[in-house]
Structure 1
Amino acid sequence: MSIRNARTRGKLPKLLLGLTLAASMLAVSACGEKASDTKTQGGAATPAASAKKEVKDLKIGYLNVMDDAQAMVAFDAKLYEKNGLNVKMQAFESGTDLIKAMVGGDVDAGVLGFTNAVAWASKGAGLKVVGGAQMGFHSILVRNDSGINKVEDLKGKRLGSQKAGSTADTVLTGVTLKNAKLTKNDLQMVYVEPAQAIQSLAGGAIDAAFVFEPYDKIATKTMPVKQIYEVGKVWPFPCMVVITTDEALKKNREGVNRMLDSQKEAIELLQKDPQKAADLITKRFIEGDTLKTDKGEVKATSVIKESIESQQFNWEINADHIKRMQEISDLLLEQKALDKPVKVEDILDLTWQNQQKKS
């Protein structure tokens, strides 16, 4: 058994409890230009699809993280094909790499951190947020014997988190620490990817880790650690969204709409039948059928099912979401991560969503 790295799908370094994990020190945004793992679906329309509509080609970028589950479920459940799409799925090692590929025309759309859209929009890139995906989940994990029980207890401690400017870092700085009347100067920040963070936490190299799924569930199942905080429970925010380019909308809006139709169905499956969704995508995160814990082996699909259930997937972007997006944009400006202010309404195109409401 081994656990797949959420970004690179490689194998992570060995953990204390005999787990094999894959370490990646690359920049990531839920939020070098080398892409990996291309898959295609569709190719030819089924007879039913052919009778209804012409097949459209679409290149979709994604990150191999639970935050992007809708993109993966839509592919693995053949929902893109069902909706008349010939999809090429391209896995990227970071949101930065994905957004660069999108701006460069190498992919048409992707599911990635909202902060990427804001950052590149401030540079003048022609991007649009066209749909919702996942509300933010970032938890703080500590060892059971650490004596750390709340965020305030992190003062003077070593905290592993993603790099400055990432979605995680933006929220950690502007929300989590701020609400605890702390700044990053009050802690010893260690910037590493989640895989390395939980390894370092297990080995005692850091005192706490700020991570997302499925690392939270895998770590709490297989290591003597506990969750003391989860930002989504305190400050819900749209972390992952569906982003495309003005050019893609101009040339292939129908294809983008069909992608959104497919991902909406995928989100409904994630919400209504997380076990079926887990059966589809577990192989993307965990190699083998089980994980070892101090209470014996547990099914890999059950761990991913719990990871899915801890998330809130939402295809709709509502007024409250837009307000929170603007707050995030303002936080990025305050943290000097933007070239200039961005008005969120200017980078939204909710045409497809409005059509869904009418129908």
Structure 2
Amino acid sequence: MATRRGALALAAALAALIITPGGISAAHADPVKIRIGWSTMPGHLIPVLYSKPEILKYYGKSYTVEPIRFRGSSPQITAMAAGEIDMAAFGPLVLALAVTNARLDAKVVADIIQDGVGDYHSETFMVRADSGIGKVTDMKGKRVGTNAIGSASDTAMRAMFRKNNMQDKRDYTMVEVAFPNIPAMIDEKKIDLGTVLQPMSDQLLATGKYKVLFTSKDAMGPSQLVFLTANGKFLNDNRQALMDFFEDHVRAVRWFTDPKNHDEAVKIIANFMQQPPETLGYLFTKEDYFRDPFMVPNVKAIQESIDIAVDLGLAPRGIKVDPDYVDLSFVKEAQKRIEASQ
């Protein structure tokens, strides 16, 4: 009887471990799969951040990551609404549309890239040097290449045109073109102006055949160009695993942006992009976008960009980002953990 009583007690104890929250360590639970949308490399970094297992403490233990590529920020709204991704690389207008149109429970959780901060790079909008286009008003009757209507670069272009009293369809025509195809479209005169990303921006300028008509900073000042946005329910349902994920995420970004790792980091990205490393030497220098050292997004800049987008008529109404659509607890906890370990 004593043996039976002891067996029953052991069974009860094991059952308590199974049903009690936190009773089983994350190492013994199935890792949470995190599906993350992205659109641009090397800017977003998301597809390569988890390629250095030695700097990741929790990958494969409490979480795994599946990066999923999209043409731009706005197509990720549909994917998140359909439950196909858990996090997305959004621009400010896309966040507003996700909330007001798609009614998503979307939370800004981390920085990805910021534009025009201090001496750091600002997105370039280029024309052919022989186009006769020397100022924005020379774009009347011309064609403009945009990667996706409502994207961060699309909003910046429209803001610059608005500054010059120009409107879409009345004064110019917008044509959706994937980022990699924009330089060829400009060269073939199928569009007259478009967003050209690094490293192509510097490469085209070096030929003398192209020039920058304006930058995103000219249009909007320093801005939070792209940021990581998560489904609110997903955050709530997987909070502990996501605390681990964000610690690793921030550690990975800090490793890639550390000058002492520059050559190796560039090589990893070059291999992913199937480009020679020497074409990506600008990465993580002042010729690149600014990334916050602890991935804390500039919420004030997001709000300002949304306000501009509403003024441009790109969104039916605005939103108050803070506190309704932001959760910085994950990157703040990541910062505390990392600083405590140093």
TM-score, normalization: structure 1? 0.70
Counterpart of 2:40 in structure 1 is: 65
- Displacement after TM superposition at 1:211 (Å): 3.0
State which of 253, 261, 264 in structure 1 corresponds to 2:247: 261
- Displacement after TM superposition at 1:214 (Å): 4.3
State which of 107, 119, 125 in structure 1 corresponds to 2:104: 125
Counterpart of 1:195 in structure 2 is: 180
Counterpart of 1:342 in structure 2 is: 319
- Displacement after TM superposition at 1:221 (Å): 5.6
CA distance in 2, matches of 1:87, 1:116: 26
Q: Does 1:303 align with 2:279?
A: yes
CA distance in 2, matches of 1:255, 1:220: 45
- Stretches of structure 2 lacking an aligned partner (at least 5 in a row): 1-24, 116-121
State which of 68, 72, 79 in structure 2 corresponds to 1:91: 68
1:88 partner amino acid? V
Looking at CA atoms only, which structure, 1 or 2, has the larger radius of gyration? 2
- Displacement after TM superposition at 1:130 (Å): 0.9
- Stretches of structure 1 lacking an aligned partner (at least 5 in a row): 1-50, 288-299
Contact 1:74/1:262 (8 A) holds in 2: no
State which of 221, 226, 242 in structure 1 corresponds to 2:228: 242
Residues 259-314 of structure 1, C-alpha deviations (whole Å, 9 max, x = no match)? 32222223223432343222111133235xxxxxxxxxxxx212223255322122
Aligned residues: 295
Counterpart of 1:333 in structure 2 is: 310
Q: Does 1:280 align with 2:262?
A: no
CA distance in 2, matches of 1:89, 1:271: 22
CA distance in 2, matches of 1:72, 1:188: 33
- Displacement after TM superposition at 1:116 (Å): 2.5
- Displacement after TM superposition at 1:344 (Å): 0.6
* 3-state SS of paired residue (1:71): coil
Counterpart of 1:108 in structure 2 is: 86
Q: 1:62 to 1:276 in 2, by over 3 A?
A: farther
Residues 181-225 of structure 1, C-alpha deviations (whole Å, 9 max, x = no match)? 443333343332223321111122332222334442454467832
Pairing 1:34-73 to 2, within 5 Å after superposition: 56-66=31-41, 68-73=43-48
CA distance in 2, matches of 1:138, 1:166: 13
TM-score, normalization: structure 2? 0.73
1:261 partner amino acid? E
- Displacement after TM superposition at 1:327 (Å): 1.9
1:82 partner amino acid? K
Counterpart of 1:324 in structure 2 is: 301
Q: Percent identity?
A: 19
Q: For the aligned residues, what is the CA RMSD?
A: 3.1
CA distance in 1, matches of 2:78, 2:43: 18
Q: 1:54 to 1:114 in 2, by over 3 A?
A: farther
Contact 1:81/1:87 (8 A) holds in 2: no
CA distance in 2, matches of 1:147, 1:244: 44
Contact 1:68/1:111 (8 A) holds in 2: no
Contact 1:67/1:240 (8 A) holds in 2: no
Q: 1:301 to 1:268 in 2, by over 3 A?
A: same
Q: 1:186 to 1:336 in 2, by over 3 A?
A: closer
- Displacement after TM superposition at 1:88 (Å): 3.3
